[in-house]
């Protein structure tokens, strides 16, 4: 079975409020992007990795890939205006059909080996799989003026993370069907629209996304 990993890392990183571009912000002395790359490169069931970054970051990313010797990287592409566009650009760079495509945020430095392995297994079995955490807060559905409409039942609420992993053929079809709205905050949405099955895989609490300065401090503490 052949699995290609896609890393969208072309976000503007504005919420981090850092002079440095997010993929290159140092975490424990190492660029943030090197963590997700390292974890995916170490997973024996991943055969190739394709990354999307902003056009002006491509050369720097190449330099990091050489410095750390990430041999599984088979493509670097220019990101799009939205995350979905960046994922689609990576998907198009897969040269020949594979079996499974695993998508993992460049901003999540600590995906567990178990999560990577099981998400591939679930994608094979169910078509699509999303790593997620059970909601710990009570979630309110509100109207546009921020008045509470109702409280959702926490038993059925999960926070979606990555990896989000899919059978190649299903993801291909889902991506080809998107018209207009290319702004989806996660990848499973494109499958849900097609009425396809997406299975939840409980991931570890360490699988955080670095979005703000506070997240960077938490990530430092986790190291």
Residues that bind ligand C5P (CB under 6 A): 8-11, 52, 79-83, 86, 105-107, 185, 209, 211
Compute the least distance from the CB of residue 81 to ligand C5P, in Å: 6
Nearer to ligand C5P, 62 or 125 (CB): 62
At 188 the three-state DSSP class reads helix
Question: Quick one: 79 or 111, whose CB is closer to ligand C5P?
Answer: 79
List alpha helices for 53-192, DSSP H.
58-68, 83-92, 113-126, 168-177, 188-192
Supply the minimum distance, in Å, between the C-beta of residue 161 and ligand C5P: 10
Q: Could you give the CA distance from residue 92 to residue 211 in angstroms, rounded to a whole number?
A: 27
Beta carbon of residue 158, minimum distance to ligand C5P (angstroms, whole number): 16
Shortest approach of ligand C5P to residue 70 CB, angstroms? 17
**Which lies closer to ligand C5P via its Cβ, residue 10 or residue 50?**
10
Nearer to ligand C5P, 81 or 140 (CB): 81
| Residue 67 to residue 58: CA distance in whole angstroms | 14
Closest CA to 35 of 5, 6, 57, 68: 68
Token pair in block for residue 126: 């169910």
Tokens standing for 15? 């919420």
Burial class for 52, CB neighbours closer than 10 Å (0-12, 13-18, 19+): buried
State which residue, 83 or 167, has the beta carbon closest to ligand C5P: 83
Nearest distance in Å: CB 209, ligand C5P? 6
Q: Which residues pair with 151 in a beta bridge?
A: 140
């Amino acid at each position: 079975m052949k699995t290609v990993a896609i890393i969208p890392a072309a976000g503007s990183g504005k919420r981090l409020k850092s002079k440095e571009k997010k993929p290159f912000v140092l975490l424990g002395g190492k660029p943030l992007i090197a963590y997700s790359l390292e974890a995916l490169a170490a997973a024996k069931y991943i055969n190739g990795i394709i990354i999307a970054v902003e056009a002006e970051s491509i050369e720097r990313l190449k330099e990091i890939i050489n410095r750390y010797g990430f041999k599984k990287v088979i493509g670097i592409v220019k990101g799009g205006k939205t995350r979905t566009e960046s994922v689609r650009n990576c998907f198009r760079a897969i040269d020949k059909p594979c079996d499974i495509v695993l998508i993992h945020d460049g901003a999540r430095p600590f995906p567990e080996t178990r999560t990577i392995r099981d998400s591939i297994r679930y994608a094979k079995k169910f078509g699509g799989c999303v790593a997620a955490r059970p909601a710990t807060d009570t979630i309110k559905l509100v109207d546009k003026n921020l008045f509470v409409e109702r409280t959702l039942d926490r038993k059925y609420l999960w926070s979606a993370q990555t990896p989000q992993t899919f059978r190649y053929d299903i993801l291909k079809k889902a991506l080809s069907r998107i018209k207009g709205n290319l702004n989806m905050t996660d990848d499973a949405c494109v499958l849900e629209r097609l009425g396809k099955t997406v299975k939840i895989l409980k991931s570890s609490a360490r699988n955080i996304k670095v979005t703000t300065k506070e997240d960077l401090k938490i990530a430092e503490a986790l190291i």
